[in-house]
Structures are given as structure tokens and as C-alpha cells.
């Protein structure tokens, strides 16, 4: 019996890796333009970290975590909680009051797998910790938008405010009263959520529930003066930066730590899975985890979803890893000098393909085409004896002699001189 990968866990094959690397490089480049530094955390954390930050009554904590119950540890379902744990544990704010951090890596959630939804998925996660100004919210959102723009993607930015511990609890009570009056019309999940996590009812995707909540009170009308001012200034700052957005008063994030600004980058091109990235402010989280009273804001984007969307929207073609030169060694006596030349060239930074099978020239040229080699250096027994190989330009099929004299280093340098000016 063949052993296959676990459902919801996917290999990223060499064909797609070029695109993944392209996305990651763009992300690193843009994050660093905004002064973010990379941080890497372990995949396993104490379960309590996620329960306390993401919240007990969330889908992630209730149903989706990969937990080793006997050991009290969990495979991280997201990165924000781990970054905050590391931030507090190492007192990062002492060195620098405002920390700008990013991480890239796998996350684990036991969700029902479908297109763009996996059990092991990868996030690009960015956080700015220790700054409360609304312009920071706008700057971070603009950074996310810049990344998606530079990747050539078209998405819609939706924005909401979830208020704070002053204005949200009274709003929740009003919402529960409203939901209880209409209870009969809601789905079973929403009936249950009315008491466990009433805000989640607002973003239920079922048409009947959606229709009912249109009449629900809006948190945007119930914000306290500070939250109201903050949200107004975020919108103004986004306008200053020329970032278009839509207000969505029904947007409720699936994680409990959010306060004030929340946002999602949405697309209709991925079917039901509309969020390419999402985030928001979490002003009480660090203190709640035992750290100093610092605020924070961040977002995460799903790498799988970005890659899928790039395919779907035909954005940014990513060329495959092309080889600079293929050495076609013909005859057993040429194998040793060709292997030394290949090794020397690789030390000099050249991408070299070489096979030791002694196959025919035709087969080796075919293979050179498959690995996208720009040149093939043909070295048969005769060429070796004469001290002169044949260098073939694979695009134009032009051939020129190449002297196999001098040390391998000298040959390598001469070959590089020939290859480099031709680099596209």
C-alpha cells in the first residue's frame, strides 16, 4: 500500500516553489522597507497561550487545535499569540519601545479541507507592537495592500472597528436582546453563539442569518468617543495614503483578542474562501498574557491563498529555476574532469547541471532543455583530447569552441565571462 500525505496537509512541489519564493521575497522586501525585523518562534507552544489569547469560545480553540492533551501543548494555529509570548518572555520592548516584527511559517488548524483551506497552511504575519496612533493602523494596512499590489493581485479592503472593553460589553447586551427576539430564524450555530459569542452571529454566512442581521444594531454607532475618534483618524489616514476601503459593520474576526480597527483583504476569485489576509488591533492582549500594558496591531496573509489567487488572476509569472550551463560529458574518460569543472563552477556561483550516466548527446541536450539550461558545454573524448569543448547557446543553437586549457578555476572564469554578459 502506498503511503499518502494526510488529508489537509499538502506538498509544495518544485513547480510551485518558484511562486512561493517570489511571494516570500516580495514580503520580506516590503516588510523591511517598513522597518520590520524577522522573528522565528517554535511551532509547539503551551496550549494555555492560545486559549488565553484567541479565546475559549472561538472555533479555533473549541474545535480546530492540534493539541497533545497529555502534554498540555499545541501546534500553533496562528502566529500572533506566539510572537506576543516571545515579546514578553524576552522583554523586547526594553530594547526598543516600538517593535516591528514579521514571521513566515506553517500554522495548523483542524478545519474541513477545501480549496484554499488546509490543515497545515502558511502565513506571512506582520505585527507592530507598542504604538497606539491611528496612523500606525493605516501604515500597517497600507503595507499589506502594497504587498498585494506588488504581487499584481486585485483585492478589496474591508474595514471595521470592534470597539474596546468600554463600549463593546454594553453593545453585546443590546445585540443579545436583538438576537434573542429573532432567535427562531437563526441557524443552530447562531442560536448557540447568541449566548457564547454573539458578535460572531453578525458574520454567519448562511443567507437566512445574513438577512436577519441586516436589522441588527451596529457597533459603529455605539463606539465610545475614544474608539470613534481612533476609527475616524484611521479612515482619514488611509485616505491620505490613497488606500481605498469599504466599511463593513458585519465583519467580526474569528479570534477574540481584537479591539478597535479590524480589516480583511477579500477576493471573490477563490470561491467561498474570501480572505487572502486579515488582521487588526489587539490593545489588551499583551497585558492579558502577563506583559506590559502595550497595544499592538498586525495582520496575517495565507500563502496558499495568495499563490492560488496569483494563478487565478494570472498575476506575476514566476520563472522556474533555470540552470546556467549543462555539462554534456560523453565517454567515461571525460567524467572525472567534467565533475571537477562542474564543482569548480558551482563554487564560483554558477548553476551547473551534469549527469554521470554517459547517455548520448541527443539525450543530454534534451535534458539540458528540461532544466532550462542557457548553455550546454559539450565535452566528448575527442574534444577532451583536443583540449577544446563546444559551447552551445540553447536558445539560438549557435555553437562556439571553448578552450579546455588551464586550471579548472581558469576555465570556470572564462566560462563565466562568456555566460555572464548573456544573462538576461
Interacting residues with ligand HAM (CB under 6 A): 78-80, 109, 111, 116-118, 121, 123, 125, 127, 254-255, 275-280, 298-302, 304-305
Residue number with CB closer to ligand HAM (138 or 341): 138
Residue number with CB closer to ligand HAM (78 or 324): 78
Give yes or no for a contact between 303 and 125, defined as CB atoms under 8 angstroms apart: no
Q: How far is the CB of 1 from ligand HAM (least distance, A)?
A: 28
Q: How far is the CB of 242 from ligand HAM (least distance, A)?
A: 23
Q: How far is the CB of 8 from ligand HAM (least distance, A)?
A: 8
Residue number with CB closer to ligand HAM (255 or 327): 255
Q: How far is the CB of 135 from ligand HAM (least distance, A)?
A: 18
Residue number with CB closer to ligand HAM (116 or 389): 116
Q: How far is the CB of 47 from ligand HAM (least distance, A)?
A: 17
Q: How far is the CB of 284 from ligand HAM (least distance, A)?
A: 13
Backbone angles phi, psi at 245, to 5 degrees: -150, 160
- Longest Cα–Cα distance of the chain, Å, equals 94
Q: How far is the CB of 173 from ligand HAM (least distance, A)?
A: 26
Residue number with CB closer to ligand HAM (304 or 383): 304
Backbone angles phi, psi at 40, to 5 degrees: -125, 130
Residue number with CB closer to ligand HAM (291 or 298): 298
Residue number with CB closer to ligand HAM (304 or 324): 304
**Long-range contacts formed by 4-8: CB under 8 A, 24+ apart:** 6/119, 7/113, 7/119, 8/110, 8/111, 8/113, 8/118, 8/119, 8/120
Q: How far is the CB of 381 from ligand HAM (least distance, A)?
A: 55
Q: How far is the CB of 298 from ligand HAM (least distance, A)?
A: 3
Residue number with CB closer to ligand HAM (180 or 272): 272
Q: Please tell me the distance from the alpha carbon of residue 83 to that of residue 103, in angstroms, as a whole number.
A: 9
Residue number with CB closer to ligand HAM (125 or 383): 125
**Long-range contacts formed by 266-271: CB under 8 A, 24+ apart:** 266/155, 266/156, 266/157, 266/158, 267/153, 267/154, 267/155, 267/156, 267/309, 269/309, 269/312, 269/313, 270/115, 270/116, 270/305, 270/308, 270/309, 270/312, 271/115, 271/116
Q: How far is the CB of 301 from ligand HAM (least distance, A)?
A: 6
Q: Which residues pair with 299 in a beta bridge?
A: 126, 279
Q: How far is the CB of 93 from ligand HAM (least distance, A)?
A: 17
Residue number with CB closer to ligand HAM (37 or 360): 37
- Beta carbons within 10 angstroms of residue 328's beta carbon: 29
Residue number with CB closer to ligand HAM (123 or 344): 123
Amino acid at each position: 500500500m502506498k503511503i499518502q500525505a494526510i488529508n489537509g496537509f499538502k506538498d509544495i512541489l518544485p513547480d510551485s516553489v518558484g511562486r512561493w519564493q517570489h511571494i516570500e521575497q516580495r514580503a520580506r522586501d516590503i516588510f523591511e522597507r517598513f522597518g520590520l525585523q524577522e522573528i522565528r518562534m517554535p511551532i509547539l507552544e503551551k496550549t494555555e497561550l492560545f486559549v488565553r489569547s484567541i479565546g475559549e469560545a472561538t472555533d479555533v480553540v473549541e474545535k480546530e487545535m492540534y493539541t497533545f492533551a497529555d502534554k498540555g501543548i499545541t501546534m500553533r494555529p496562528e502566529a500572533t499569540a506566539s510572537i506576543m509570548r516571545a515579546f514578553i518572555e524576552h522583554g523586547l520592548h526594553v530594547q526598543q519601545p516600538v517593535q516591528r516584527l514579521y514571521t513566515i511559517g506553517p500554522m495548523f488548524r483542524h478545519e474541513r479541507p477545501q480549496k484554499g483551506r488546509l490543515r497545515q497552511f502558511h502565513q506571512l504575519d506582520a505585527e507592530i507592537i507598542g504604538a497606539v496612533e491611528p496612523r500606525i493602523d493605516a501604515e500597517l494596512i497600507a503595507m499589506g495592500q502594497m504587498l498585494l499590489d506588488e504581487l499584481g493581485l486585485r483585492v478589496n479592503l474591508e474595514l471595521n472597528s470592534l470597539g474596546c472593553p468600554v463600549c463593546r460589553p454594553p453593545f453585546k447586551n443590546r445585540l443579545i436582546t436583538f438576537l434573542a427576539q429573532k432567535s427562531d430564524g437563526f441557524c443552530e450555530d447562531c442560536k448557540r453563539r447568541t449566548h457564547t459569542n454573539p458578535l460572531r452571529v453578525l458574520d454567519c454566512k448562511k443567507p437566512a442569518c445574513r438577512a436577519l442581521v441586516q436589522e441588527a444594531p451596529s457597533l459603529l454607532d455605539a463606539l465610545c468617543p475614544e474608539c470613534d475618534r481612533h476609527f475616524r483618524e484611521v479612515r482619514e489616514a488611509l485616505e491620505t495614503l490613497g488606500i481605498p476601503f469599504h466599511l463593513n459593520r458585519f465583519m467580526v474576526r474569528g479570534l477574540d483578542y481584537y479591539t478597535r480597527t479590524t480589516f480583511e483583504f477579500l477576493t471573490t476569485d477563490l470561491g467561498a474562501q474570501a480572505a487572502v489576509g486579515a488582521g487588526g488591533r489587539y490593545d489588551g492582549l499583551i497585558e492579558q498574557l502577563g506583559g506590559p500594558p502595550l497595544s499592538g496591531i498586525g495582520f496575517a496573509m495565507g500563502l496558499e491563498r495568495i499563490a492560488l489567487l496569483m494563478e487565478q488572476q494570472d498575476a506575476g509569472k514566476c520563472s522556474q529555476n533555470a540552470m546556467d550551463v549543462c555539462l554534456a560529458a560523453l565517454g567515461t574518460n571525460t567524467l572525472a574532469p567534467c565533475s571537477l569543472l562542474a564543482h569548480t563552477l558551482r563554487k564560483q556561483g554558477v548553476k551547473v547541471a551534469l549527469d554521470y550516466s554517459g547517455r548520448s548527446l541527443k539525450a543530454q541536450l534534451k535534458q539540458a532543455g528540461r532544466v532550462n539550461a542557457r548553455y550546454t558545454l559539450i565535452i566528448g573524448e575527442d574534444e577532451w583530447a583536443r583540449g577544446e569543448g563546444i559551447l552551445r547557446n540553447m536558445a539560438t543553437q549557435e555553437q562556439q569552441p571553448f578552450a579546455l586549457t588551464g586550471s579548472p578555476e581558469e576555465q570556470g572564469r572564462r566560462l563565466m565571462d562568456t555566460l555572464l554578459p548573456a544573462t538576461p
